[in-house]
Amino acid sequence: MKKLVTSLLSLAVVAGLSGAALAQEAASNGAEPAKHAEGETPHFPLLHPKHEHWTFAGPVGHYDKGQLQRGLKVYTEVCAACHSMSLVPFRTLGALGYSDAQVKAFAANYEVQDGPNASGDMFTRKAIPSDYFPSPFPNHEAAAAANNGAAPPDFSLIAKARGIERGFPQFLFDMIPFVGGYQEGGPDYIYSLLTGYDQQPPASVQVAQGTHYNPYFAGAAALAMPKPLSDGQVTYDDGAPATVDQYAKDVASFLMWAAEPHLEERKRTGFMVMVFLVIFTGLIYLTKRSVYANKEH
- pLDDT tens string for the chain (297 positions)? 445 445 544 544 444 444 444 344 444 444 344 445 455 567 788 898 999 999 999 888 999 999 999 999 999 999 999 999 999 999 999 999 999 999 999 999 999 999 888 889 999 999 999 999 999 999 999 999 999 888 999 999 999 998 777 777 777 777 666 555 788 899 999 999 999 999 999 988 889 988 999 999 998 999 999 999 999 999 999 999 999 999 999 999 999 999 999 999 999 998 899 999 999 999 999 998 888 877 776
Backbone phi and psi for residue 79, each to the nearest 5 degrees, phi listed first: -70, -35
Give SS3 for 165: coil
pLDDT of residue 291: 86
Is 175 annotated as contributing to ligand binding?
Answer: no
Domains of the chain: 43-84+139-277 (1.10.760.10), 89-134 (no CATH)
What amino acid occupies position 107? A
Backbone φ/ψ region at 115: left (φ over 0), alpha (ψ -120 to 50), beta: left
What amino acid occupies position 184? E
pLDDT of residue 59: 83
pLDDT of residue 15: 42
Cα distance between residue 12 and residue 21, in whole Å:
14
Cα distance between residue 106 and residue 80, in whole Å:
14
pLDDT of residue 52: 93
Cα distance between residue 275 and residue 267, in whole Å:
12
CA distances from 146 to 81, 82, 113 (A): 11, 9, 21
- Beta carbons of 255 and 190 less than 8 angstroms apart: yes
Q: What is the largest CA-CA distance in the chain?
A: 88
pTM: 0.81
Q: What is the pLDDT of residues 281-291, one digit of tens each?
A: 999 999 988 88
**In the chain, at which residue ranges do the beta strands (DSSP E only) sit?**
111-114, 123-126, 212-213, 222-223
pLDDT of residue 6: 52
**At CA 66, angle to CA 63 and CA 72, rounded to 5?**
90
Is 272 annotated as contributing to ligand binding?
Answer: no
Closest listed residue to residue 73, CA positions, set 259, 254, 260: 254
Is 79 annotated as contributing to ligand binding?
Answer: yes
Give SS3 for 91: helix
Q: What is the pLDDT of residues 224-277, one digit of tens each?
A: 999 999 999 999 999 999 999 999 999 999 999 999 999 999 999 988 999 999
pLDDT of residue 174: 72
Do the bridges between strand 123-126 and strand 111-114 make them parallel or antiparallel, or are there none, so unpaired? antiparallel
- Beta carbons of 240 and 70 less than 8 angstroms apart: yes
Do the bridges between strand 212-213 and strand 111-114 make them parallel or antiparallel, or are there none, so unpaired? unpaired
Give SS3 for 163: coil
Question: How crowded is the C-beta side of 192, counted as CA atoms within 13 Å?
Answer: 28
pLDDT of residue 287: 92
Is 83 annotated as contributing to ligand binding?
Answer: yes
